[in-house]
Amino acid sequence: LRDNRIELVRATWHELSISVSDVSLSDEGQYTCSLFTMPVKTSKAFLTVLGVPEKPQITGFTSPVMEGERMQLTCKTSGSKPAADIRWFKNDKEVKDVKYLKEEDEVRKTFTVSSTLDFLADRSDDGAVVSCRVDHESLNSTPQIAMQVLEIHYTPLVKIISSNSWPEEGQSIILTCESKGKPVPEPVLWTKDGGELPDPERMVVNGRVLSISFLNKTDNGTYRCEAKNPIGRNSTEYVLIVHDVFNTLLPTTVIPSLTTATVTTNVALTASTTTSATATSIRDPNALAGQTGPDHALIGGIVAVVVFVTLCSIILLGRYLARHKGTYLTNEAKGAEDAPDADTAIINAEGSQVNAEEKKEYFI
C-alpha cells in the first residue's frame, strides 16, 4: 500500500497495524495481511465504506396554493450507500401513502433516492409543517430533515352567533358574523329577506356585528351575512322570530264623590289568554297596532255600572233617613178657624197639648 493517507501504526513480530485517514468510497475493497514464512501465511478482510446521504431538499411547492388544487412535493437525497430511507411527516404525523424511487450511480456506486407526496390542498392544511426525513446507518441515529410550511388560500367560512336565543318584543339582540378565510375576508355585508336593512336607526352594523334594538314583529325575517375575499365568497343565514310578552294587569278605579258621601270601589281584573282584557306592558312606540292590550270598552262599562249603583244607593239612603227623622204635633183642632190668633186657637183646640195626655217621641 502506497498512499499518503495510510500510515503504519504498529510493527512487531506479532502485530502489524495501519490507519487510513479521510476515507473515501475508493478505499472500499479487500485488504490482505501476509506473514512471510515457509510456507507464507495470509489473512484477508473486506472493508465496506458507507456513503453518507446529502441533506434532503423539498421541491414542487409554489406559494400560495388554492384550496382543492393537487400538490406534489418531492424529497430528494444523493450519495447514500446503501440506499437511504425517506419518510414523510405532516405536523409530526407520518404519511404512509407516498411514492419511492431509487437510482444507482454506476461510477461511484452510490444511490440517489427520491420520494413524492401527492395530495389535494385543503384549508385544514394551511400553516401545516410538512417534513421529509432521511434515515441511514451512517448518520448514527441522527436523521437529516427538510421542512416546508404550507400556505393554502381558501374562500371564507361564515357563521352567525346570536346573543339572545329567545328574543321578545322590546328587547335587543346582537348578531355576530364570524368569517374566517385566507386572505382575510373583507367587511361582511348584512341583508334582510334579500334586501337592505329596513330600519337603519334601530339596525346598526358595526364591522361584523349587527345590533337590533326595541324588537317588534316587523323585525321577523331571514338575515344573511356574506363575506368575500379574492378567492371567492360565502354566506350564511339566521331566521329571527320575535316572541310576544305576557303580563298581568290589576287596575284600580276610584269613583269621585258626587254627594256628601264618598264611595271608593276597587275593581280587580285578572287577565288571561282567553279574556278580552289582556295584559300589557311598556313597549316600543314602533310596535305594531293591534297587539294584545286592555279592552277599554269593557272597563268603561264596568265603571259606569258601579257609578250608577252607587248613586242609586245614596239616593235611597237619603230618603230613608229623611222620612224617619221625627214628627211633631202642629195640627189645630176643629173649629179653631175663628180664633183671633194662633195662640188662642191652640189653647181652644180640641185635643190641645194642655189637656192632652203626655206623649213620647222616638228618634230612629
Rounded mean pLDDT, 128-146: 92
In this prediction the pTM is 0.57
Taken in order of first residue, the domains within the chain and their CATH numbers are 6-47 (no CATH), 57-150 (2.60.40.10), 155-240 (2.60.40.10)
For residue 188, is it left (φ>0), alpha (ψ between -120 and 50) or beta? beta
Q: Return the pLDDT at 324.
A: 58
C-alpha distances (whole Å) from 63 to each of 66, 223, 314 are: 9, 37, 99
Report the C-alpha gap between 154 and 69 in whole angstroms: 11
| pLDDT confidence bin for 286, thresholds 50/70/90 | very low
Reported as half-sphere exposure (CB side, CA atoms, 13 A), residue 245 has a value of 18
Rounded mean pLDDT, 198-202: 93
Q: Return the pLDDT at 344.
A: 62
Read off the pLDDT of residues 329-353 as tens digits, 9 standing for 90 and up: 444 444 455 556 656 656 655 544 4
Read off the pLDDT of residues 51-61 as tens digits, 9 standing for 90 and up: 999 999 999 99
Q: Is the pLDDT of residue 210 over 80?
A: yes
Phi–psi pair at 334, nearest 5 degrees: -70, 140
Q: What is the dihedral of CA 272, 277, 279, 283, to 10 degrees?
A: 150
Q: Is the pLDDT of residue 253 over 80?
A: no
Read off the pLDDT of residues 2-27 as tens digits, 9 standing for 90 and up: 888 999 899 888 888 999 999 988 88
Least confident of 63-67, 107-111, 133-137, 257-261: 257-261
Residue 53's contacts (CB-CB under 8 Å, 6 or more residues apart) are: 77, 78, 79, 80, 84, 113, 134, 136, 138, 139, 144
Q: Return the pLDDT at 16.
A: 87
Q: Return the pLDDT at 108.
A: 77
Here the cell at position 190 is 348584512
Report the C-alpha gap between 86 and 116 in whole angstroms: 10
| pLDDT confidence bin for 69, thresholds 50/70/90 | very high
- 3-state DSSP call for residue 47? strand
Strand partners, 212: 173, 203
Here the cell at position 199 is 330600519
